[in-house]
Amino acid sequence: MIRGTVSSIGVPTVTLPIVGQNWAATIDTGFNGDLELPEDIRDSLNARYVGRMTSALAGGQVIDEDAYLVSFPFDGQIIQAETTFVSGTQILIGTRLLREYRLEINFVSKTVDLVKLGIT
């Protein structure tokens, strides 16, 4: 299980260890991919280019992005995740990465729980 918090402005986050540093990662239920990571850590993750992908953003905007496959630590395991890289330090976790998890966000107690269900 991964536990996190809901920020004072209502953003659900968990902390992930990536390349020797703990990073706050936002759970973005409107993002149907795996991950969006900071460009600055791409080389440290040995990202492998897999092609272009089209993403639909809020407000109807559509963008084309380069997609990479990375080995990524998640819930005590190293998993393969399709990733896009952007400038800045924000990390987004998308719903495809969570497909084997139950996501519980309690806005009253400001808690986030990701529980693996064992579905394949």
pTM: 0.90
How does pLDDT run across 16-61, given as a tens digit for each residue?
Answer: 999 989 999 999 988 888 999 999 999 999 999 999 988 766 677 7
Any residues with CB less than 8 A from the CB of 9 and at least 6 apart, and which?
Answer: none
Question: Residue 4 has what pLDDT?
Answer: 98
Q: How many angstroms separate the CA atoms of 5 and 120, rounded?
A: 27
Q: Which of 91, 108, 76 is nearest to 10 (CA)?
A: 108
- How much is the pLDDT for 57? 67
What local confidence, expressed as pLDDT, does residue 83 receive? 94
Q: Write down the domain spans for the chain.
A: 2-116
CATH 2.40.70.10 fits 2-116, yes or no: yes
Which burial class, exposed, middle or buried, applies to 20 when counting CB atoms under 10 A from its CB (0-12, 13-18, 19+)? exposed
